[in-house]
Structure 1
Amino acid sequence: MANSSQSVIQDVNSVYYIHPSENPTVSLVSEKFNGDNYADWKKGMILAFSMKNKLVFIDGSLTKPDSGDPMFNAWERCNNMVISYLLRSMDNTLSKSVMFFATAEEIWKDLEDRYSIISGPQFYSLQQSLNQISQGNTSVSEFFTKIKGMWDQISAARPIPVCTCNGCSCNLIKNFFKSQQDERLIHFLMKLDNRYAAVRTNFLMMNPLPTISATYNLLVQDERKKEVSEVYKQHSAMVFLAADEKKMDHLGQHKQQFTGNTSRFLYRRNTTMYCDHCKMPGHTMDRCYKIHGYPPKYGYGKGGKNKRIAAVVYGDKDTDEEDQNTTHLTKAQYDQFVNFMKQNK
């Protein structure tokens, strides 16, 4: 008999099996039970005990063996482990109120009797929170998670009635569930931000109305599309701004160059020198090309388009250098030279 009980304890499929990694000093749920979150806490604990194959110790389906039974010690060890998990998953104040129960079933039943039935004020508070909720600046995913949590709490407080008729063919439960889902879908669309007004109108025009899951999926896709479009617009704006700045820098360089050339031209034009022969400022008669001739590089005449009429009007550097290497004649010297050539001829 001892060998038989030992094999049951070591069997991983047995409810009496305890894995070496079990640590009853930790909490099985992320949020401990504080008296207000019983529905969420209960769901998490059921999942945890189901994974550990220990649900039979809280629902009463495995009765306590007699003290002379070979499995008594194994049952008691598993029962104490489940009790430890329950106490560690509650606030200190609540854990002290159930600490002296002998079995995990008794603790579970006491909590169920105290917190499973939602009172009128609690149900009113849930409905009020549901009506006041709105999306605001949160994403569709965050908003849907929040509102669905409230729906689940209301469903736990007021579950859908179940038909007990034998051979029922009216589909009352199915129709009632569809009506509840349509109502929640309308409420969900009402609480969406105004940026989803167009998408909301498309959903409301559908007949029959889509499911909540399908609506959520389409809204998430629309949200991602808007995010991609916004990123593209920002990128385009940055590229345009960079191109505009580059253009402005280019114009600034031309402006500086134009300003420099204009200043040089104005300096030459504002000089006090004046030619009495060609009646143009910027030079005198002893440097006038109309008297002394145009240099070949100035292109005066055919093909030259008459680019320059008199000397140093535009203040070119080449003109100054040319003037420094040129010997100029006065009018008296020029007349003397002409008379000399006529006599020799």
Structure 2
Amino acid sequence: MASFLQNSSSVSAGRAAIDDLLSPYFLHHSDNPAISLVSQPLTGDNYASWSRATIIAMTVKNKLGFLDGSIAKPADTDLNLSSWIRNNNVVIAWILNSVSKDISASILFADSAYEIWNDLREQFQQSNGPRIFQLRRELINLRQDQQSVAVYFTKLKSLWVELSNFRPSCTCGQCTFGGVKNLAAFSHHEYVLTFLLGLNESFTQIRGQLLLLNPLPPINKVFWLVSQEECQRTLSSQSDANTSLSNNLAFAVKGRSSGHDFGFPTRGAQRERPFCTKCQINGHTIDTCHKIHGYPLVISPNLSQSLSTWQLILQQSTPLSIMWSTMTVQQHLKMAFFPIIEPSTIQTTNEDVCYALIKFCSHWFLHNDR
């Protein structure tokens, strides 16, 4: 009877551990083995950032003890053994989902999450030298260039924080001589100097003012001050652009009111007609005067003689059978020659002759326009 009561109490304790929300053995319905807890899978060279993200995720899930070994495997007679195996397998599945396929093949047959965690740490954390070298080289070559201050600072901070994880630090909490504090102050001093060093030369003035401060402000304060300077310059440049646009518009309005538009005559200004000093008439200049340079074919100053020549050409031309439905060459000829030439003659006139007639009309009216 006593043994039965003891077994019942043990079962009740094990059930209480599974149902307790604060127990590491508790599994929420969303804690399925198919999810991935980190955004970037482990590829080998990103172990520092991956391990940090994995630790944060496991802490939120209350399963960090399965990684660091603080929750050891219970004895075979322990009622929590089945719960431990189930939680251990869920953590293993989460790790497999957060590493690359090549790496997952090497850890697939491990028995515990603690064993996998140690294996990955020994495999990838030992090769810190190349990664540290790469981070330091990126920090040295990092410059603002065309980036904004916010984008430049974000890149610098990500590199600096990752590099800081490789630096040794004291975690005992028993140092009383101020060595840890001085080391942290020196690291912060380098952080600020690295940020100021990568800024563009346009920030020389505010950089000099910050370097005169002793001690240097916190890095976030320095970033805020530089960002305010950048915002002030942006507002000033916009104000200068608006002022320049206003001046240009005022100049344009002034030019229009004076009768000119940036050196060109306005729309209402009349164009001066050409004048021939030989004929003393408008419409052409002395450089194109036919009285000096000669008349073209079938064009003469005598209208009756020219019209007689055109009547002969019209009689010898090949008729056309095309009917003109729009304002075409024949209609222009009817309007120009209707008082002189019979419209039926123009209706059947060859098209080439029609164009020649138009040319004749334009030349004749040009020389007789007074």
Pair in the same fold by TM > 0.5: yes
Question: Aligned partner of 1:235: which letter?
Answer: N
Give the structure 2 partner of residue 135 of structure 1.
144
2-structure distance, mates of 1:138, 1:258: 51
Match of 1:6 in 2: 15
Give the CA deviation at 1:229.
Answer: 2.3
| Corresponding position: 1:182 with 2:189 | yes
Partner residue in 2 for 1:334:
none
Pair 1:5–1:163, CA change in 2 (3 A): closer
Number of residue pairs matched? 264
Q: Per the alignment, in what secondary structure is the counterpart of residue 206 of structure 2?
A: helix
Which residue of 2 is the match for residue 46 of structure 1?
Answer: 55
The answer (yes or no) to whether the contact 2:256–2:266 under 8 Å persists in 1 is no
Offset of residue 238 of structure 1: 3.4
**Who is 2:284 aligned against?**
none
Counterpart residue number, 1:171? 178
Rate the CA distance shift 1:174–1:118 in 2: closer, same or farther, 3 A: farther
CA distance change for structure 1 residues 233 and 163 in 2, over 3 Å: closer, same or farther? Answer: same
Question: Aligned partner of 1:19: which letter?
Answer: H
Distance 1:32 1:245, change over 3 A: farther
Where do 1:203-242 residues align within 5 Å? 203-242=210-249
CA distance in 1: counterparts of 2:246 and 2:16, whole angstroms = 74
Counterparts of 2:138 and 2:266 in 1: how far apart (Å)? Answer: 67
For residues 64 and 118 of structure 1, the distance between their equivalents in structure 2, rounded to whole angstroms, comes to 31
Instruction: Give 5+ residue unaligned stretches, structure 2.
Output: 1-9, 274-279, 282-370
Equivalent position SS for 1:157: coil
Residues 277-309 of structure 1: per-residue CA shift (max 9 Å, x gap): xxxxxxxxxxxxxxxxxxxxxxxxxxxxxxxxx
Q: Which residue identity does 1:104 align to in structure 2?
A: A
**Matched residues, percent identical?**
33
TM-score normalised to structure 2 length: 0.65
How far the C-alpha of 1:243 sits from its partner, in A, is 3.8
Provide the rounded CA distance (Å) in 2 between the counterparts of 1:124 and 1:253: 68
Deviations 1:68-102 (A, max 9, x none): 32211111111111111111111111111111111
Structure 1 equivalent of residue 349 of structure 2 = none
- 1:324-343 equivalence runs, <5 A: none
Contact 1:160 1:177 in 2 (8 A): no
Aligned residue number for residue 109 of structure 1: 118
User: Comparing 107-116 with 231-240, which one deviates more in the overlay?
Assistant: 231-240
CA shift for structure 1 position 119: 3.7
Q: Deviations over 1:146-203 (max 9, x none)?
A: 1222222222222235678x6x542011111111211221122111111111110111
Give the equivalent residue in structure 2 for 1:293.
Answer: none
Task: Give the match for residue 200 of structure 1.
Answer: 207
- Give SS of 2:165's match: helix
* Counterpart Cα distance in 2 of 1:45 and 1:122: 19
Is the 2:43–2:103 contact (alpha carbons within 8 Å) kept by the matching residues of 1? Answer: yes
Structure 1 unaligned segments of length 5 or more: list them.
265-270, 273-345
- Cα gap change, 1:51 to 1:162, in 2 (>3 Å): closer
* Residue in structure 1 matched with residue 161 of structure 2 by the alignment: 152
> Could you tell me whether the CA contact under 8 Å between 1:118 and 1:157 is conserved in 2?
no
Name the CA distance, whole Å, in 1 between partners of 2:141 and 2:101.
Answer: 32
**By how many angstroms is 1:251 displaced?**
3.7
- The whole-number CA distance in structure 1 between the counterparts of 2:183 and 2:255 is 68
Q: Does 1:66 align with 2:66?
A: no
1:124-146, Cα deviation, whole Å (9 max, x unpaired) = 22222221111111121221121
Report the 3-state secondary structure (helix = DSSP H, G, I; strand = E; otherwise coil) of the residue aligned with 2:94.
Answer: helix
Q: Tell me what 1:96 maps to.
A: 105
| Change in CA separation of 1:183 and 1:253 when aligned onto 2, cut-off 3 Å | closer
Residue type at the aligned position of 1:83: I
- 1:294 aligns with none
Deviation at 1:103, TM superposition (A): 0.7
* Contact residue 144 and residue 152 of structure 2 kept, 8 A: yes
Q: What is residue 280 of structure 1 aligned with on the other side?
A: none
Shift >6 Å, 4+ stretches: none
Q: 2:35 aligns with which of 10, 15, 26?
A: 26
**Structure 1's 116 and 248: CA in aligned 2 closer, same or farther, altered over 3 A?**
same
RMSD across aligned C-alpha pairs, in angstroms?
2.7
The normalised TM-score by structure 1 is: 0.69
Cα–Cα, structure 1 residues 23 and 244, in superposed 2: closer, same or farther, change >3 Å? farther
